[in-house]
A and B are shown apart, each in its own frame.
Chain A
Amino acid sequence: MKGIFKIAAVSVLTVSASLALAAPKFAPAVVYDQAGKNDKSFNEAVYRNGVLRFAADFGPVVAEFEPQSETQMEQGLRRLAQKGRSPIIAIGFTFGSAVEKVAKEFPDLQFAIIDMVVDLPNVQSIVFAEHQGSFLVGALAAMASETDKVGFIGGMDIPLIRKFACGYAQGAKYVNYEVEVFENMTGTTPAAWGNPTKGAELAQAQISKGADVIFAAAGGTGIGVYQAAADAGVYAIGVDSNQNYMQPGTMLTSMLKRVGVAAYDSWKEARDGTWKGGFKVMDLTNGGVDWALDDYNSSLITADMKSWVEEIKADIKSGEIVVHDYMSTNSCEM
């Protein structure tokens, strides 16, 4: 009797081992962060350029989850994993510990996380070269500024946002060494992503010091910044999604972070069977970051500005300009 059990146990083990080698069933999913999928910024970029585009190409197969609170983040991830969803893409660095935990529990499934590195074989860590994109919009800000003073308003004070600030300052100084860059952070807790009143006050403080272009990398707080800039008649620069439409006429441009494309690619790789875990960098060369030009801001960008910034872009791609990454040294070196 015992022997039969042993044989059964061994055969179960071998079966599960062979299953682990094969790729899991393709059933893509996404978990947004607490801002929700229609945040006009980061999450919406995933929804519009990832989920909707994937649905148009391959049918509505992507399962979505929007956590309403911090506790739901890990739960939502685990629920999707229990249903055998794979690959599951988690949007944002706040999912770091949740992905690490759940990915360990479900080693047969594929996970991906944006803006964070989780070192597990079944996790794809997608990070962006925000410093390069910020360099471009910083350059544009310095070109558009008449006072030679430009501002940056960050959301929560974390290294990722310092990376934006540092790239922006480098870009502005590259175009005009004289330019002065004001830098403010909204706060030190996640509430700093959703405080438009404070964003507007920070913008007004910078405007009163002479800033006439302000770049906000602050999630929902940015809405207050764009409003204050529009009310004062100065330029603002959007972030993550193309936010040029939000205040037409005063939105100089937006720093694009193509999170949607990254999500789409990850799903597509899984579908084609070429999905690999590990580290993936989205930068200017593969179009992961960029600056936005559309009908809303085409009148604000002169031909000279456009050709100059495209030149800078080519130089960064070719390596002629090296943009310092704040997160590599935890300091901003110009």
Chain B
Amino acid sequence: MLDFWFSWVILPLDSMMRLSTPLVLLALAGMFSERSGVVNIALEGKLLAAAFASASAAAVTGSAWIGLLAAIATTIMVAMLHGFATITHKGDQIVSGMAINILVAGITVILGRLWFNQGGQTPNLRGDARFQGIDFPGAAWIQENVPFVGSVYGEILSGHSVMLYLAYLMVPISWYVLFHTRFGLRLRAVGENPAAVDTAGISVVAMRYKALVVCGILAGFAGTYLAIGGNTAQFMPNMSAGKGYIALAALIFGKWRPVQAMMGCFLFGLLEAYAIRLQGVEIMGIGTVPVQFIEMVPYVLTVVLLAGFIGRANPPKSVGVPYSKERE
């Protein structure tokens, strides 16, 4: 029983925490930008850019924290590029977002080959150049001596890198900023009815740029976690592997709200964790389930849940619409 509990409840939850972290950060990043009215399909590209910047900077300087700063600076720049196209020049948000994804996928590999000459990968990092797991006080002791609940503390909560804890801290912070500050109120208003905000004397353009800066910072954290904060210690070409799009789905899932979006990310993370563990396992009465079937489950479930159970997800009213004053 204890064994079953540990390998089918505790370990998948532990794995879920790690797999959901970049998704949570990205969903929050997307939330800020979409709440202000900028559709953010460019999350994938921002994640990849941040992962590359953090791994390169950490490889060169030997400090993971400098890697984080470099990632944030890079993603803010990418977000500003997105903003320049969509806010200043009122370009199509989806087209420019896809352009960013394609641009980043190519440029990271080219720069990586040029700088490190390892086929687009960055060097493998050790020691301080990556964020390593932190063991909570008494984690091992509690896990051993307190049945069932002990492993929740010892395995699921303890032992992750500081980046993971920062990521989950961002959820309440984002919630507070979005719903309980003047900045948050204005941000939401810009996404719903920019003309009204403009009438009140607040610059729509400035608000949307600010939202994209916040989006850049959060995406910077996500990329840093992916490359040097989790269980990898280097950048590899296309290592984002579609996480940006999944985060976007989780955001819609969570109806553009931070806690609900996090729950959506948990769902994806948990399904992936089980998909990994169910491979080659004999299930009573069915036998071994083919890998292909297990891999399919998260996607099918997404469609089913989105279609039937989540209900109507109303996006911010002005999302995707560049704002222009009627007369200038």
Binding site for B on A (CB under 8 A): 35-40, 43-44, 157, 182-185, 187-188, 191, 194-198, 200-202, 204-205, 208-209, 220, 223-224, 227-228, 231, 246-247
How far does the Cβ of B48 sit from chain A's closest Cβ, in whole Å? Answer: 12
The answer on a CB contact under 8 Å between B231 and A197 is: yes
- CB under 8 Å from chain A, chain B span 162-179: none
- B230 sits at the interface (CB 8 A): yes
How far is it, in angstroms, between the C-alpha of A227 and the C-alpha of B130 when the chains are bound?
A: 12
Q: A36-B119, A196-B232, A246-B124 are in contact. Are A202 and B276 (CB under 8 A)?
A: yes
15 chain-A/chain-B pairs, Cβ below 8 angstroms = A36-B119, A36-B120, A38-B118, A38-B121, A40-B121, A182-B280, A187-B295, A194-B241, A195-B241, A197-B230, A201-B19, A205-B15, A223-B121, A224-B231, A247-B124
The answer on a CB contact under 8 Å between A200 and B277 is: no
How far is it, in angstroms, between the C-alpha of A195 and the C-alpha of B292 when the chains are bound?
A: 17
The answer on a CB contact under 8 Å between A201 and B15 is: yes
Q: A201-B18, A228-B231 are in contact. Are A223 and B280 (CB under 8 A)?
A: no
Contacts of B7 in A (CB 8 A): 208-209
Q: A191-B241, A194-B236, A209-B7 are in contact. Are A35 and B119 (CB under 8 A)?
A: yes
- CB under 8 Å from chain A, chain B span 234-257: 234, 236-239, 241
Contacts of A208 in B (CB 8 A): 7, 11
How far does the Cβ of B127 sit from chain A's closest Cβ, in whole Å? Answer: 12
- B226 sits at the interface (CB 8 A): yes
Contacts of B279 in A (CB 8 A): 184-185
- B273 sits at the interface (CB 8 A): yes
How far is it, in angstroms, between the C-alpha of A295 and the C-alpha of B89 when the chains are bound?
A: 59
Select which of B113, B118, B292 is within 8 A of A40 by beta carbon: B118
The answer on a CB contact under 8 Å between B236 and A220 is: yes
How far does the Cβ of B25 sit from chain A's closest Cβ, in whole Å? Answer: 14
**Closest residue on chain B to residue A224 by CB atoms:** B232
How far is it, in angstroms, between the C-alpha of A132 and the C-alpha of B118 when the chains are bound?
A: 30
Most chain A CB neighbours (cut-off 10 Å) among B19, B113, B230: B230
The answer on a CB contact under 8 Å between B119 and A196 is: no
Contacts of B18 in A (CB 8 A): 201
The answer on a CB contact under 8 Å between B232 and A223 is: yes
Contacts of B232 in A (CB 8 A): 196-197, 200, 223-224, 227
The answer on a CB contact under 8 Å between B239 and A194 is: yes
Besides A36-B119, A183-B280, A184-B276, 12 new A-B residue pairs in contact (Cβ under 8 A), listed by A number: A36-B113, A37-B119, A38-B121, A40-B118, A194-B241, A196-B232, A197-B226, A197-B231, A197-B239, A201-B19, A201-B272, A227-B233
**Closest residue on chain A to residue B280 by CB atoms:** A183
- B324 sits at the interface (CB 8 A): no
- B203 sits at the interface (CB 8 A): no
Select which of B231, B238, B239, B280 is within 8 A of A231 by beta carbon: B231
Contacts of A38 in B (CB 8 A): 113, 117-121
How far does the Cβ of B310 sit from chain A's closest Cβ, in whole Å? Answer: 26
Contacts of B239 in A (CB 8 A): 194-197
- B291 sits at the interface (CB 8 A): yes
How far is it, in angstroms, between the C-alpha of A303 and the C-alpha of B174 when the chains are bound?
A: 59
Binding site for A on B (CB under 8 A): 7, 11, 15, 18-19, 113, 117-121, 124, 133, 226, 230-234, 236-239, 241, 272-273, 276-277, 279-280, 291-292, 295
The answer on a CB contact under 8 Å between B231 and A188 is: no
The answer on a CB contact under 8 Å between A204 and B231 is: yes
Contacts of B291 in A (CB 8 A): 157, 185, 187-188
How far is it, in angstroms, between the C-alpha of A37 and the C-alpha of B119 when the chains are bound?
A: 7
How far is it, in angstroms, between the C-alpha of A79 and the C-alpha of B218 when the chains are bound?
A: 45
How far is it, in angstroms, between the C-alpha of A39 and the C-alpha of B226 when the chains are bound?
A: 20
The answer on a CB contact under 8 Å between B276 and A39 is: no
The answer on a CB contact under 8 Å between A205 and B119 is: no
How far is it, in angstroms, between the C-alpha of A196 and the C-alpha of B241 when the chains are bound?
A: 10
Contacts of B19 in A (CB 8 A): 197, 201
How far is it, in angstroms, between the C-alpha of A200 and the C-alpha of B19 when the chains are bound?
A: 11
**Closest residue on chain A to residue B117 by CB atoms:** A38
**Closest residue on chain B to residue A38 by CB atoms:** B119
How far is it, in angstroms, between the C-alpha of A209 and the C-alpha of B12 when the chains are bound?
A: 12
How far is it, in angstroms, between the C-alpha of A231 and the C-alpha of B11 when the chains are bound?
A: 17
How far does the Cβ of B87 sit from chain A's closest Cβ, in whole Å? Answer: 32
Contacts of B133 in A (CB 8 A): 231
Q: A184-B279, A187-B295, A202-B276 are in contact. Are A194 and B237 (CB under 8 A)?
A: yes
**Closest residue on chain A to residue B118 by CB atoms:** A38
The answer on a CB contact under 8 Å between A223 and B119 is: no
Contacts of A182 in B (CB 8 A): 280
How far does the Cβ of A160 sit from chain B's closest Cβ, in whole Å? Answer: 15
**Closest residue on chain B to residue A34 by CB atoms:** B237
**Closest residue on chain B to residue A197 by CB atoms:** B232
How far is it, in angstroms, between the C-alpha of A191 and the C-alpha of B243 when the chains are bound?
A: 13
Contacts of B277 in A (CB 8 A): 205
The answer on a CB contact under 8 Å between B231 and A227 is: yes
Contacts of A220 in B (CB 8 A): 121, 236
How far is it, in angstroms, between the C-alpha of A9 and the C-alpha of B279 when the chains are bound?
A: 64
Contacts of A228 in B (CB 8 A): 231
Select which of B231, B237, B280 is within 8 A of A200 by beta carbon: B231
The answer on a CB contact under 8 Å between B276 and A205 is: yes
Most chain A CB neighbours (cut-off 10 Å) among B117, B121, B273: B121
How far does the Cβ of B290 sit from chain A's closest Cβ, in whole Å? Answer: 9
